[in-house]
Amino acid sequence: MSVVALVPAAGRGERLGYGMPKALVPVNGVPLLTRAVQGLFASGQVQHVVIAAPPSDVDLVHTATASLAPAGGAVHVLSGGAERTDSVRLALEHALRVIPDTSIVLVHDAARAFTPPEVIADVVAAVRDGHDAVIPVLPVADTIKQVDEVGVVVSTPDRAGLRVVQTPQGFRVETLKAAYRSGVAATDDAGLVEKNGGKVHTVPGHAHAMKITTPFDLAVAAALFAGGSA
């Protein structure tokens, strides 16, 4: 039974200011997407990676990633959709059509290019242990305020019960299929499962799984991971 990672990477990433898709922006000479795919395979758990690429850059993405798969594995590249959920849905449909023995599905952000392979393996292990949906998380370090529509504080949630969510998020394939068939909306795939009545389990995340979305994030990543090592 195959573990398949879906990587929605069709976003343009204007905030990085590179004039290219965010997933192809380099950190120390290596594109974010390349690093993310390398990490997925380095976990030793993933057999296939399905990338939803910008429609204009499918060939470029294929060239950048095709050689990364280990023996017996493969990278699949297809045109992504207008929104992240569209890209995940297209990648999931491709996986179900082309990789019929898919049993566990991961959804991973290319922008979290330095997620340690051990975190990826922990997510897969938790799904194998019987959890329908699993996410890596970190405790919240800052005080959080809830505000109203004019910016006035209305409450201060207890941060002891709050977590920062990372990727990859892992699912039994039937769980993710059902969530996408439900027609609900959410900001992440685990949220879709929650709104569809499912339970989401957590495992410890890692600070290296930071999401790179701004030039500052990019500079921090370049400094932290000089030499290509996380």
Separation between Cα atoms, residue 87 and residue 148, nearest integer Å: 32
Percent of the chain at pLDDT exceeding 70: 96
Confidence band, pLDDT 50/70/90 cuts, at residue 45: very high
pLDDT at 229 over 60: no
Q: Which segment of 8-12, 47-51, 198-202 scores lowest on mean pLDDT? A: 8-12
Is 31 in contact with 74 (CB distance < 8 Å)? Answer: no
Domain count across the chain: 1
Residue 196, domain member (yes or no): yes
Residue 156, domain member (yes or no): no
Question: What is the model's pLDDT at position 20?
Answer: 79
Residue 14, domain member (yes or no): yes
* 66-94 tens-digit pLDDT: 899 999 899 999 999 999 999 999 999 99
Neighbours of 114 (CB within 10 A): 22
- Residue 65's alpha-carbon distances to 30, 62, 68, 112, in angstroms, are 11, 5, 5, 16
Q: Residue 164, exposed/middle/buried by CB under 10 A (0-12, 13-18, 19+)? A: middle
Is 176 in contact with 184 (CB distance < 8 Å)? Answer: no
Mean pLDDT of the chain: 93
pLDDT at 15 over 80: no
pLDDT at 201 over 70: yes
Residue 153, domain member (yes or no): no
Separation between Cα atoms, residue 185 and residue 195, nearest integer Å: 8
Residue 20, domain member (yes or no): yes
Question: What is the model's pLDDT at position 230?
Answer: 46
Separation between Cα atoms, residue 150 and residue 148, nearest integer Å: 6
Stated pTM of the model: 0.94
Domain range enclosing 83: 2-137+164-224
- Tell me the CATH number at 195: 3.90.550.10
**Of 145, 139, 133, 137, whose CA–CA distance to 198 is shortest?**
133
Is 202 in contact with 163 (CB distance < 8 Å)? Answer: yes
Residue 158, domain member (yes or no): no
Residue 148, domain member (yes or no): no
Residue 150, domain member (yes or no): no
